[in-house]
Structure 1
Amino acid sequence: MALLPGAAAATPGEGVTAETLATGTSAGGLDLTTRGATDVTMRVITVEPGGSTGWHYHPGRLLAIVASGTLTRTLDDCTVEVSSAGETVLEPAGARHVHIGRNLGTEPVVLYATYFVPEGSPLAVDAEDPGCDTAR
């Protein structure tokens, strides 16, 4: 879930807040996508009704549990995945996995997310819309 400043061509997020619950670093790679030390960050992310993360990707994997609401994600190939309360979301690492998360419902989406990124990497990187029509 992107909450970091990005390039001018990136699509900004809106209506998203995040609270970091815990952070740590593992000396050995915890995630198959990283070599060496891995930063682990746990956050609570809230997407208000009508809110959006903006297009972004993660340098490492993200595992999230939808605690409430319904999260609608559009992926880099323009497919749409919908995750409701009690479901998990696994987002792969890398710039080829851009996506946007939106709350199209009437109640806040609350996610408990754990990020596994290479040591010193940002949690997310803003990206350009790959050409999907997310206004529908």
Structure 2
Amino acid sequence: MHSFASMLPLLLFLCSVSTAAYVERAATTLGQASLLVSNGAVRECGTVILNSDLSMTLPSASWAGGSHCGHEVTVTYSVLKGGTVQSRSVQLKVAGECPVCIASQIEMTDAAFNSLGASERGMPTVTWSLN
């Protein structure tokens, strides 16, 4: 029978491996969102985007040659109201690339801003992650 002390290095190794795999899949980016005005335009993924669609574009740094076309991205917007953080998340479909965005910035349609409750159309801070 093995003692707990003798098993500890193995347990720590297994925990670090599973944690690393989880972090890799759930990488979240903190950045800003700008308004994607693309009513009826065809974007890089070959789909027409309407302002009423729940769509977004990725920065060139995350574009990966279009390999994320059609994938969903979870975008979360949080605000502090009355001393409490209130957050809303929405699933958006990748519809194209944003070549003018910085590495952490995304563009979202008007419908995405509305779904998040982000009344400002400036550059609210959001978190986003590829699903």
Same fold, judged at TM 0.5 (above): no
Structure index of larger Rg: 2
The structure that is strand-richer by fraction is: 1
The structure that is helix-richer by fraction is: 2
